[in-house]
A and B are shown apart, each in its own frame.
Chain A
Amino acid sequence: EIVLTQSPATLSLSPGETATLSCRASQMISDYFAWYQQKPGQAPRLLIYAASKRAPGIPARFSGSGSGTDFTLTIHSLEPEDFAVYYCQQRSSWPPLITFGGGTKVEVK
């Protein structure tokens, strides 16, 4: 099973700053890689798919990059509504099994 390790566990930032979230895979993975945002009491929301493509309706301040084993989610100029937990997710080629990282909480400094 491919293990995804997210860092840091918590990121303390102020509105207007830039958040850089990391996700490292235990082995090379394909472009089946996504990022989600989750707020308390809500279902996750898809932000990024195929490592770098923004889902419909997601603001341009969210961007994804990376390949192989190292992936990054960058949130430019944090808005108050961006403070949440973020998860990375991958799908192995075959069988198509899904795993998630442990999450990074972006909190108000």
Chain B
Amino acid sequence: QVHLVQSGAEVKKPGASVKVSCKASGYTFNNYGVSWLRQAPGQGLEWMGWINLYNGKTIYAQKFQGRLSLTANTSATTVFMELTSLISDDTAVYFCARDRMEYSGPNSFDPWGQGTQVIVSS
């Protein structure tokens, strides 16, 4: 079974950074890209960026350019999302999600991780 398991909730102060992990299992890790998305309280879904786990290339939504870094530890089949210079508006549940198809680029996402709550508060 394909699973994505994310790290636990985080509470951060404004200006700090957060790093969330997403451990993948049940499939050939390098063959599928992974996106990160977020959902602010009571709001819809927002795509943040994508990492190609075959060659490490990334694509970031313009909104997050300069603040977002997606990396991976291939041997640990784990993807990381680091967001810097946090503000209160970054308070959200953050999800990792695998590309539905291998070698396809970000397209549709299946499955998703369970989500990680990040709270930014002074």
Interface residues of chain A, those whose CB is within 8 Å of chain B, are: 32, 34, 36, 43-46, 49-50, 55, 87, 89, 91, 95-103
Contacts and interface: CB of A to CB of B under 8 A. Distances in A.
Interface in B86-122: 95, 97, 100, 105-115
Contacts of A46: 100, 108-111
Contact of B47 (A36, A95, A98, A103): A98
Majority-rule SS of B interface residues? strand
A91 B37 CA distance: 14
Contacts of A89: 45, 108
A32 B45 contact: no
B115 A100 contact: no
How many chain B residues sit at the interface, stated as a range, is 20 to 34
Contacts of A99: 47
A43 B114 contact: yes
B100 A100 contact: no
A97 B105 contact: no
A45 B112 CA distance: 7
Contacts of B113: 43
Contacts of B114: 43
B59 interface: yes
A91 B47 CA distance: 10
Contacts of A98: 35, 47, 50, 61, 106
Nearest to B93: A43
B51 to A, nearest CB: 12
A34 B45 contact: no
Name the residue among A43, A100, A101, A102 with the largest chain B CB count within 10 angstroms. Answer: A43
Contacts of A100: 44-47
A24 B19 CA distance: 35
B108 A43 contact: no
28 contacts: A32-B107, A34-B107, A34-B108, A34-B109, A43-B111, A44-B45, A44-B95, A44-B97, A45-B110, A45-B112, A46-B110, A49-B100, A49-B108, A50-B108, A55-B100, A55-B110, A87-B45, A89-B45, A91-B106, A91-B107, A96-B50, A97-B47, A97-B61, A98-B35, A98-B47, A98-B50, A98-B106, A103-B45
